[in-house]
């Protein structure tokens, strides 16, 4: 008889445990990639244009690939990872974890493989400075 109540309790707890998982997509990147998070209020924001222009060039794409970077964008509250849509709760969790507001101001955040914020910039970020920062990281130098 005590097996039935235990099974019932376990079955009821399963959805609670699944819901308790952190929806922040940056958690899944830990020790795998170096996420860059670009948050802008509008699609025509100068920061987003700058990042897109860099990735339109072969050298920019290669720089991202060599440094194992993943690009997260949040434009007007809608999140994407490398161009693929994120769920609204994932976007909200990521913004909350980084202390960012989808309404602005424009922000550029580099997250290390360890999950820590390594660089926080605004629209004036220089991508070469970001690459240089990554190249100075201990994990990158061990390669």
- Classify residue 9: in a domain, yes or no: no
The confidence score (pLDDT) of residue 75 equals: 98
Neighbours of 135 (CB within 10 A): 12
114 falls within a domain? yes
Q: Which parts of the chain sit beneath pLDDT 50?
A: 1, 4, 6-19
Question: What's the pLDDT score for residue 8?
Answer: 42
SS3 content of the chain, % helix, strand, coil (to 5): 45, 20, 35
pLDDT recorded at residue 10 = 46
Residue 33 within any structural domain of the chain: yes
CA distance 22 to 76: 23
Range of the domain at 135: 22-141
The pLDDT value recorded for residue 21 is 73
pLDDT for 15: 46
pLDDT of res. 19: 46
* Burial per residue of 43-58, b for 16 or more beta-carbon CB atoms within 10 angstroms, e otherwise: eebebbebbeebbeee
Residue 6 falls inside a structural domain: no
Give domain status of residue 13, yes or no.
Answer: no
The answer to whether residue 81 is domain-embedded is yes
- Is 93 part of any domain? yes
In angstroms, rounded to a whole number, what is the distance separating the alpha carbons of residues 30 and 55? 23
Read off the pTM: 0.82
The domain that contains 116 carries what CATH number? 3.40.30.10
Phi, psi (deg, nearest 5) at residue 108: -130, 120
Structure confidence at residue 18 (pLDDT): 44
Q: Could you tell me the two tokens for 95? A: 């913004």
pLDDT digits (tens, 9 = 90+) for 29-43: 999 999 999 999 999
User: For residue 83, is it within any domain?
Assistant: yes
- What is the structure's pLDDT at 20? 53
C-alpha torsion 30→32→37→43, nearest 10: -140
Structural domain total, the chain: 1
């Amino acid at each position: 008889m005590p097996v039935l109540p235990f099974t019932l309790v376990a079955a009821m707890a399963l959805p609670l445990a699944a819901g308790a998982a952190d929806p922040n997509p940056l958690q899944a990147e830990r020790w795998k990639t170096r996420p860059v998070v670009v948050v802008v209020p509008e699609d025509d924001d100068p920061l987003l244009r700058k990042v897109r222009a860099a990735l339109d060039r072969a050298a920019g794409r290669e720089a991202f690939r060599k440094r194992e970077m993943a690009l997260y964008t949040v434009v007007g509250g809608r999140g994407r990872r490398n161009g693929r849509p994120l769920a609204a709760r994932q976007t909200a969790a990521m913004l909350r974890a980084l202390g960012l507001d989808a309404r602005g101001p424009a922000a550029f955040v580099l997250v290390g493989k360890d999950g820590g914020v390594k660089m926080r910039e605004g629209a004036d970020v220089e991508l070469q400075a970001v690459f240089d920062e990554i190249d100075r990281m201990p994990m990158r130098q061990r390669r």
